Amino acid sequence: MTEWSHRHLLDLDHVTRSEIELVIETARSFKEVSAREVKKVPALRGKTVALLFFEASTRTRVSFELAAKRLSADTLSIAANVSSVTKGETVLDTALNIEAMNVDAMVVRHQASGVPQMLAQGTKTVIINAGDGCRAHPTQALLDIFTMVDRLGPLDGKKVAIVGDILHSRVARSNITALISMGAHVTVCGPGTLIPVGIDKMGVEATTDISHALDGADVVMALRMQKERQQELYLPSITEYVKEFCITAERLKKARPNALVMHPGPTNRGVEIAADVADGAQSVILEQVTNGIAVRMAVLYLLLGRKAE
């Protein structure tokens, strides 16, 4: 039986395939909890999980909060960008103050890459990365993979197309790392300005040709396209992006007939994904949200739960 070997969850760089499978397996058993009348198990009773969100987030924060609560942990939520950080307190100082209140884990989101790693080095608490800069969003990738495996079975040889702003996407980076561990073939696609230098070194194919990217894909993942990219000179216009890259029903025909349509949310309907596709039969976007809680329960349990035993 595989053991979980990491004290923190900072990224998926060193998380092995069998560890990812362990998360999936653990999440599968927790998924059932959320469907019960009484949505609670005592696995983390007496534990405290602090949610430190230095960058605004609703979905991920709520998902972690529910995950912790359904495991009977106590939670405290700090939207740090509006509290002490504006008073000049450093990230590390904020974390040390939270740690001094004897929390068992800190779930951290920050706009700068590397902050969870910095906190893992600077504190003694278990750190779970809930998204740092453009670097990593490990639980998102794990829930995406959970969803894919749930629907498609083993991912060996499966073709996953990730479309959109790859340059700024931590979701893309974590998915690439984990999908390759799982044996999938990954193609990233977007405008040339939003495909980062050297992405091929991560073991993916990069293309600006959307039909090539979608051709025969088992999974099509659209990424959020932020409107600011136009002002930042990455795009001539959002309109042209939509014309060239929006996942429409017509474009989706290139993919396999039952290809999954995914999106990490929140979606810009009509920008990176057409509304009828987002709501269509192939879309698993809401399932991703549901699975997110089970996967985050699994992560919290693997990092905190078994130590108590």
Q: Name which of 42 and 88 has its Cβ closer to another protein.
A: 88
Q: Name which of 46 and 203 has its Cβ closer to another protein.
A: 203
> How far apart, in whole angstroms, are the C-alpha atoms of residue 28 and residue 35?
12
Catalytic residue among 48, 60, 94, 267: 60
Given strand 74-78, what is the order of strands in its sheet? 74-78, 48-53, 105-110, 126-132
Q: Is 263 a catalytic residue?
A: no
- Closest distance to another protein from the beta carbon of 150 (Å): 28
- Closest distance to another protein from the beta carbon of 55 (Å): 11
- Closest distance to another protein from the beta carbon of 174 (Å): 10
Under a CB-based contact definition with an 8 Å cutoff, are residues 164 and 198 in contact? Answer: no
> How far apart, in whole angstroms, are the C-alpha atoms of residue 146 and residue 223?
18
Q: Is 201 a catalytic residue?
A: no
Tokens of 265: 């949310």
Catalytic residue among 137, 168, 170, 263: 137
Catalytic residue among 109, 168, 173, 256: 109
> How far apart, in whole angstroms, are the C-alpha atoms of residue 241 and residue 103?
45
Q: Is 290 a catalytic residue?
A: no
Q: What is the CA radius of gyration of the chain?
A: 19
Under a CB-based contact definition with an 8 Å cutoff, are residues 135 and 11 in contact? Answer: yes
Q: Is 137 a catalytic residue?
A: yes
- The site for another protein (CB under 8 A) is made up of 90-92, 110-115, 117-118, 121, 132-136, 170, 173, 196-202
Q: Is 109 a catalytic residue?
A: yes
Q: Name which of 70 and 137 has its Cβ closer to another protein.
A: 137
- The set of catalytic residues is 59-60, 87, 109, 137
